[in-house]
Amino acid sequence: MEHNNPVVRFLLKGFIQVFSILFIVFFVTSAAAREVTLTWEANSEPDLSHYIVYWGNSSGNYTKNSGNIGLANEYTTDIPDDGRKYYFAVTAVDEAGLESDFSNEVSSVPGMFISTKSNWNLISIPNVAENTPIEDALGPIMDDVVTIWTYVDGVWKYYNPDNPNTSTLLEVKPGQGLWLNMSDNAELYIPEAVPVDAVNLSHGWNLVGLNSAAILNMPQAISSILDNVISIWTYQDSKWKVYDPDNPEFSDLTTLKPGYGYWIKVRSACTWRY
């Protein structure tokens, strides 16, 4: 048997991301894990015995593997939904037990879906780049958008798809919260979060979101500004939730999640690091 590397393809749900000729499929399976399905071109050698899939959090340093998966050229497993980047590769093993080198490698942070409902939704877009045109940020669901509002430095701004020329909200920034009025239910796929080191908050109310793939527990999520926070509110599943730093035991907002928007009221201008 010539030890040719198997050619691996991975499909990232929502769009095709090419790493040489690899792609990967991610599905949410629970609050703590995501299902990953890998598919690759079959090795054509006559004495092929089986494949082994490897993965880990460091490129070329794989800490887990599938073991012998036979001749199937598809493999599904769960990985933690922890916002970290995962790397994948495949090897082929012949009947004598000789194993090929690793295939080409793919890496990606699992994406996420933002589910919006008909009527009002308080959201943020975790992977948005600086000054992204609003039509690009919400393109896949724009047909269902009625209006979009945000609140910046004490001023309301809005976007009306029917009258974009009169709109005052033209771009979306990292860490920005959005009030989204929808005509129908829709899902916005976010392929990968781009980390933001800090979010600047003005005195008073700020409409913001997490530019992170990780879920952050309270009060650790706001440890950098805890003494400055008066309250935090969010609107989820058609009801308001609040976190009061002075009365955490009576607060029903216990985590901050990517994809949601949050009203944070602070005593003075500060920088929120998380």
pLDDT tens per residue, range 57-115:
899 999 999 999 999 988 888 887 666 778 999 989 999 999 988 888 877 666 677 88
On whether both 89 and 187 belong to a single domain, the answer is no
Pairing outcome for strands 239-243 and 204-209: unpaired
Domain membership of residue 2 (yes or no) is no
Q: Are residues 104 and 128 in the same domain?
A: no
Ramachandran sector of residue 138 (left: φ over 0; alpha: ψ -120 to 50; beta: rest): alpha
Given this model, what pLDDT does residue 13 score?
30
- Same domain flag for 121 and 252: yes
Please give the tally of structural domains in the chain: 2
Both 92 and 133 in a single domain? no
- The strand pairing partners of 86, in sequence order, are 108
Tell me what the pLDDT averaged over the chain comes to.
84
Last residue of a domain, one of 56, 86, 108: 108
96 shares its domain with 141: no
Q: Are residues 142 and 258 in the same domain?
A: yes
Please tell me which residue, 260 or 24, carries the higher pLDDT value.
260
Does 78 map to a domain?
yes
C-beta of residue 188 within 8 angstroms of C-beta of residue 114: yes
Same-domain check for residues 16 and 47: yes
Q: How many CB atoms lie within 10 A of CB 117?
A: 13
Asked whether residue 87 falls in the same domain as residue 120, the answer is no
Provide φ and ψ at 165, rounded to 5°.
-70, -25
> Which tens digits make up the pLDDT trace of 101-119?
888 887 766 667 788 999 9
Q: Which two tokens stand for residue 11?
A: 């499909």
Predicted structure pTM score: 0.66
- Residue 137 is classified by DSSP as H
Q: 3-state DSSP call for residue 226?
A: helix
- State the residue range of the domain holding 225: 112-273
Inside any domain, residue 1? no
